[in-house]
Amino acid sequence: MQADVPADRAGAQAEAQPVKGREQAGYKEGTSRGTVRGQPGRGRQQPGRPGPAVRCGMRSPELPVPPPAAAPRARPGRGRTRTSESGSASLSLRPALPGQAGPRAGEERAEPRSPPPEGRRGLRAQTSPAPIDGTAPARAGGLGLGGRAGTADGSCLRPGPDPGKGCCPSYQDQNLPPTQLASFPIIRPALQDLASSRWHWADQPPPNHGRGCLYGLVFDAGSTHTSLYIYRWPADKENDTGIVSQVEACSVAGPGISSYADDPAGAGAGLKPCLDRAMKIVPAEQQRETPTYLGATAGMRLLREENSTKAEQVLAEVSKAIGAYPVDFRGARILTGSEEGSFGWITVNYLLETLVKFSFAEKWAHPQDTEVLGALDLGGASTQITFQPGVPVEDRNTSVFFRLYGTDYSLYSHSYLCYGQSQALKMLLAALHQASSRAQISHPCYPKGYKETITVAELYNSPCVRAPSSARPGLVLTVTGTGDTDTCHAAVQRLFDFSCGAQGPCGFNGVYQPPVRGHFFAFSGFYHSLHFLNLTGGQSLSLVNATIRKICNSSWKQVQELFPTASRTQIRDACTASSYTLTLLLQGYKFNVTTWPNIHFIRQVANTDVGWTLGYMLNLTNMIPSEPPPAVVGLLRSIWIAATVLLAIMLLLSSCLLTATCCQRDSSGYEQL
Ligand SMILES: O=c1ccn([C@@H]2O[C@H](COP(=O)(O)OP(=O)(O)O)[C@@H](O)[C@H]2O)c(=O)[nH]1
């Protein structure tokens, strides 16, 4: 793990070192192969609680290094790279303790270089209603997911008067046709069989029809905002599999919790409306057994770089606020970049059932013909790339191992701090300011005719940017848009160092990255920036380029007319954000015209938001075992037995055929063999 803070334009630089052999709550760094450990088979804990099965009824920082400047290349197999937040990781299932903060300064050490419905029998297949753009039609559920049903807002199709009760997916609700398969070739194999067979409950209604759900709550405390995700799954799980569906995503008013550094109590108070909402959804008698987590991401990683005390105070306040509710609160902590990327990868593949799925034999099985997907996450303060490269990951800091359902996954995962959208746009503005060295800034990515003012203090309020020593905090800067596509593109590119040198493949800023492989889901900021321009529907790279070019050449008046209902900030940033997204994907992560179609811009899968939170909860609640569930073992054994019997029959038949042939030849007067 390490961290880099942009040195010149970026401000501070820091590194965090892997902590060998130490296991943190929910995360283990180091080089050893690890697993997402579950307790397969009998005696396995039910999600969300220790002990016997629950019956119901009763979600280092590294700061960017300026490109050409001095970002030493990552050396495969060696130490640290800059601008990274990854680390060799293997996820454990040890939950965070209540109130426990995440990795602390010593654990994800930073050395600033410069200031700055059940998986139940009978369910053969299900799908979700026809998705809107950004939602993938998938078999609801993932590892053992049977499916889910829901509305666009994530609520139950038939919530009833009390949304907390009688809301487990029902047969009728889930007997829906798969749609838009063609849009997602990677998941087509998994879906086609389902399409042809029609989703249905195999033999009988679900045992828990209308009742028997467990709940889990995860706060995603991002740099720009906080959301509370309310998940639910059937209590009666079959063979270590289950269905987790998103009941609701409650958006917390205001900015991300890192913005409350000088008012920590405000961060806690802001969570209450969503906690109140959750208490209306989770039945009263189940609240105390509802596992509840808060995971903070890059915004808090940056705050911790700046002021670890303030970061701890914020975490303490949000913990206090959540702890005041009758839930099984299991801690508020700061995720490492590697965790953020890894849990996002788990979420994606869980939702698409690429890790294990319900087979025609009505058994949970490891899909033989399905490739796992990669995950591309663009937050406000960091961006993550996680995928299975198919070649050994040469840099231990970016390698992640998982053992899920008896299958080993060797992944590449890396997080670039400060290269989230908001911080990258801030770095761009700071770079433009420093290039102008006046109180007037010409912004080539802002529309021509657009004008705004910003103080030096506001511009340089992040460790990702470092104010020039001559700059007075109170100085008011005037930013004027010039709407110049080519100049914009060049300015965005200067945020990165794309050179890889002679030491092997890289992403950017000298960070090792094997060539991208397979299909990817791109979510969060990747989705939002392109969705705003209607470019998330599988458009060709040339069309995407042309559209962004057109937007970037538009005047302020023209873009306002184009997006009459969008906010001023959204319209202002349309060109910058989309240009940044494209540059990051193509030159940063090294996608090209051939691999571009393999990127699927997605917001939701089957009414569940794609992000790290679901994977986080699945891990911490032991819902993903490292070993195959008994059903899978059973299936493999059955296959072995069937294959043996078949071989015996074939040998017998061959022997009979040979004997018959010999006798026939003999009777025809041929020489005996
Ligand atoms: O409706 C939305 C919701 C989110 N976002 C973007 O999605 C990302 C969410 O990032 P988050 O706050 O989670 O930041 P992190 O802490 O993960 O870096 C940011 O780039 C937001 O600008 C957006 O553009 N529109």
CA distance 598 to 601: 10
- Taking only the tens place, the pLDDT of each residue in 61-78 is 345 544 443 333 333 333
Nearest C-alpha to atom 2 of ligand 1 is from which residue? 528
pLDDT score for 253: 98
Asked whether the predicted pLDDT for residue 111 surpasses 90, the reply is no
CA of 57 to the centre of ligand 1 (A): 37
Q: State whether the beta carbon of 370 lies less than 6 angstroms from ligand 1.
A: no
Q: pLDDT grade, residue 639 (50/70/90)?
A: low
Q: pLDDT grade, residue 363 (50/70/90)?
A: low
Q: State whether the beta carbon of 379 lies less than 6 angstroms from ligand 1.
A: yes
* Ligand 1: nearest atom to the Cα of 529: 24
CA-wise closest residue to 85 among 379, 308, 384: 384
Q: State whether the beta carbon of 363 lies less than 6 angstroms from ligand 1.
A: no
Q: Give the active site residue among 108, 118, 248, 340.
A: 340
Structural contact between residues 579 and 548, judged by C-beta atoms closer than 8 angstroms = yes
Nearest C-alpha to atom 17 of ligand 1 is from which residue? 379
Q: State whether the beta carbon of 259 lies less than 6 angstroms from ligand 1.
A: no
Q: pLDDT grade, residue 590 (50/70/90)?
A: very high
Ranking 52-56, 269-273, 314-318, 658-662 by mean pLDDT, the lowest is 52-56
- Give Cα separations from 555 to 209, 451, 531, 564, 566 (angstroms): 56, 12, 20, 14, 16
CA distance 309 to 261: 9
CA distance 63 to 3: 5
CA of 380 to the centre of ligand 1 (A): 5
Q: State whether the beta carbon of 38 lies less than 6 angstroms from ligand 1.
A: no
Q: Report CA 645 to chain centroid distance, whole Å.
A: 44
Which amino acid would we find at residue 55?
R
Q: Average pLDDT for residues 478-497, to the nearest whole number?
A: 98
Mutate to test the pocket of ligand 1, among 257, 528, 578, 612 (most ligand atoms within 8 A of CB): 528
Buried/exposed code over 408-441 (b: 16+ C-beta within 10 A; e: otherwise) = ebebbbbbbbbbbbbbbbbbbbbbbbbeeeeeeb
Nearest C-alpha to atom 9 of ligand 1 is from which residue? 379
* Ligand 1: nearest atom to the Cα of 223: 16
CA of 348 to the centre of ligand 1 (A): 17
Phi-psi region of 408 (alpha: psi -120 to 50; beta: other; left: phi over 0): beta
pLDDT score for 628: 75
pLDDT score for 369: 67
Please identify which residue in the block is written with the tokens 């051939």. 594
Phi, psi of 291 (to 5 degrees): -65, 130
**Ligand-binding site membership of 471 (annotated):** no
Structural contact between residues 327 and 217, judged by C-beta atoms closer than 8 angstroms = yes
Structure-model confidence comparison of residues 306 and 208, the more confident one: 306
Structural contact between residues 271 and 173, judged by C-beta atoms closer than 8 angstroms = no
Please identify which residue in the block is written with the tokens 């490292």. 626
Q: State whether the beta carbon of 418 lies less than 6 angstroms from ligand 1.
A: no
DSSP one-letter code for 42: T
CA of 481 to the centre of ligand 1 (A): 24
CA distance 72 to 65: 9
pLDDT score for 495: 98
CA of 600 to the centre of ligand 1 (A): 18
Structure-model confidence comparison of residues 304 and 186, the more confident one: 304
* Mean pLDDT estimate for the chain: 73
pLDDT score for 631: 56
pLDDT score for 484: 97
Q: State whether the beta carbon of 423 lies less than 6 angstroms from ligand 1.
A: no
Six token digits for residue 6:
């942009």
- Taking only the tens place, the pLDDT of each residue in 9-31 is 333 333 232 222 222 222 233 22
Q: pLDDT grade, residue 366 (50/70/90)?
A: confident
**Ligand-binding site membership of 92 (annotated):** no
CA of 60 to the centre of ligand 1 (A): 19
- Taking only the tens place, the pLDDT of each residue in 401-432 is 999 988 999 999 999 999 999 999 999 999 99
Structure-model confidence comparison of residues 631 and 91, the more confident one: 631
Q: State whether the beta carbon of 528 lies less than 6 angstroms from ligand 1.
A: yes
* Ligand 1: nearest atom to the Cα of 611: 13
Q: pLDDT grade, residue 652 (50/70/90)?
A: confident
- SS3 string of 143-169? CCCCCCCCCCCCCCCCCCCCCCCCCCC
CA of 225 to the centre of ligand 1 (A): 7
The residues near 667 (Cβ < 8 Å, ≥ 6 apart) are none
Six token digits for residue 564:
């009459």
Nearest C-alpha to atom 13 of ligand 1 is from which residue? 222
Structural contact between residues 391 and 459, judged by C-beta atoms closer than 8 angstroms = no
Q: State whether the beta carbon of 524 lies less than 6 angstroms from ligand 1.
A: yes
CA of 173 to the centre of ligand 1 (A): 31
CA of 527 to the centre of ligand 1 (A): 10
**Ligand-binding site membership of 381 (annotated):** yes
Six token digits for residue 590:
């090294």
For residues 257, 223, 243, 40, the Cα torsion angle rounded to the nearest 10 degrees is: -90
pLDDT score for 359: 65
Q: State whether the beta carbon of 420 lies less than 6 angstroms from ligand 1.
A: yes
pLDDT score for 612: 98
Q: pLDDT grade, residue 97 (50/70/90)?
A: very low
Q: State whether the beta carbon of 222 lies less than 6 angstroms from ligand 1.
A: yes
Mutate to test the pocket of ligand 1, among 85, 225, 226, 609 (most ligand atoms within 8 A of CB): 225
Six token digits for residue 439:
């109180």
pLDDT score for 616: 98
Nearest C-alpha to atom 1 of ligand 1 is from which residue? 528
Structural contact between residues 398 and 511, judged by C-beta atoms closer than 8 angstroms = yes
Ranking 49-58, 529-538, 663-672 by mean pLDDT, the lowest is 49-58
pLDDT score for 470: 87
Q: State whether the beta carbon of 217 lies less than 6 angstroms from ligand 1.
A: no
**Ligand-binding site membership of 485 (annotated):** no
pLDDT score for 666: 54
Q: Domain spans of the chain?
A: 212-334
Q: Average pLDDT for residues 83-110, to the nearest whole number?
A: 35
Question: Within 10 Å of residue 349's Cβ, how many Cβ atoms?
Answer: 26
Structural contact between residues 297 and 616, judged by C-beta atoms closer than 8 angstroms = no
Q: Is the dihedral of CA 190, 522, 507, 78 positive or negative?
A: negative
**Ligand-binding site membership of 292 (annotated):** no
Nearest C-alpha to atom 24 of ligand 1 is from which residue? 528
Q: State whether the beta carbon of 382 lies less than 6 angstroms from ligand 1.
A: yes
Q: Which fold has domain 212-334?
A: Nucleotidyltransferase; domain 5 (3.30.420)
Q: State whether the beta carbon of 380 lies less than 6 angstroms from ligand 1.
A: yes
CA of 655 to the centre of ligand 1 (A): 68
For residues 411, 416, 421, 424, the Cα torsion angle rounded to the nearest 10 degrees is: -150
- Taking only the tens place, the pLDDT of each residue in 298-349 is 999 999 999 999 999 999 999 999 999 999 999 999 999 999 999 999 999 9
CA distance 332 to 218: 10
- Taking only the tens place, the pLDDT of each residue in 457-468 is 999 999 999 999
pLDDT winner (highest mean) among 17-26, 143-152, 229-238, 435-444: 435-444
Q: pLDDT grade, residue 655 (50/70/90)?
A: confident
Please identify which residue in the block is written with the tokens 């920590």. 264
Q: pLDDT grade, residue 361 (50/70/90)?
A: low
- Taking only the tens place, the pLDDT of each residue in 131-183 is 434 565 543 333 322 222 232 332 222 223 334 334 454 323 332 222 222 23
Structural contact between residues 626 and 40, judged by C-beta atoms closer than 8 angstroms = yes
Of all residues in the chain, what percent carry a pLDDT higher than 70? 63
Asked whether the predicted pLDDT for residue 33 surpasses 70, the reply is no
Q: How do strand 604-605 and strand 520-524 relate by DSSP bridges?
A: unpaired
Nearest C-alpha to atom 7 of ligand 1 is from which residue? 525
Q: pLDDT grade, residue 96 (50/70/90)?
A: very low
pLDDT score for 151: 29
Six token digits for residue 483:
């709407």
Whether 671 sits among the annotated catalytic residues: the reply is no
